[in-house]
Amino acid sequence: MFKPRVYVTRQIFPDALDLIEKFAELELWPDDEPPSPEQLMEAMSNVDGAIINVMDRIDAPLLDAAPKLRVLSQVAAGLDNIDIPAATKRDIMVGYTPGVLAKSTADLAFALLLAVARRVVESDKWVREGNWKISHHPMFWLGSEVNGSTLGILGLGGIGLEMARRGLGFDMKILYHSRTRKRDLEKEYGLKYASFKRVLAESDFLSIHVPLTPQTNHFIGEKQLQMMKPSSILVNLSRGPVVDTDALHQALTNGTIAGAGLDVFDPEPVPTDHPILGLDNVVVLPHIGSASNRSRRDMHLLAARNLVAGLNGDRLEECANPEVYESLGI
127 and 194 in one domain? Answer: yes
Q: Are residues 82 and 156 in the same domain?
A: no
Which helix (DSSP H) or strand (DSSP E) does residue 310 occupy?
helix 293-311
- CA 6 from centre of chain: 25
Active-site annotation, residues? 239, 268, 287
Strand order of the β-sheet with 49-52 is: 25-28, 5-8, 49-52, 71-74, 93-95
Same domain, 277 and 297: no
Asked if residue 94 and residue 32 are part of one domain, the reply reads yes
Judgement on whether residues 221 and 115 belong to the same structural domain of the protein: yes
pLDDT score at 3: 94
Question: Looking at the structure, do residues 254 and 111 belong to the same domain, yes or no?
Answer: yes
Q: Which amino acid is at 10?
A: R
**Residue segments in the chain with a per-residue pLDDT below the cut of 50:** none
- Asked if omega into 269 is within 30° of 0 (cis), the reply is yes
8 A C-beta contact, residue 62 and residue 40: yes
Neighbours of 317 (CB within 10 A): 14
Same domain, 111 and 69: no
Q: Say yes or no: 120 and 238 in one domain.
A: yes
35 and 114 co-located in one domain: no
Per-residue pLDDT at 2: 84
Residue that is last in its domain, among 284, 302, 318: 284
The answer, as to whether pTM is greater than 0.85, is yes
Q: Is 154 in the same domain as 134?
A: yes
Same structural domain, 260 and 150 = yes
Give the residue numbers spanning the domain of 130: 102-284
Looking at the fold, whether 149 and 247 belong to one and the same domain comes out as yes
CATH number, domain at 188?
Answer: 3.40.50.720
Contact 238, 212 (CB under 8 A): yes
Confidence at residue 136, expressed as pLDDT on a 0 to 100 scale: 85
Number of domains in the chain: 2
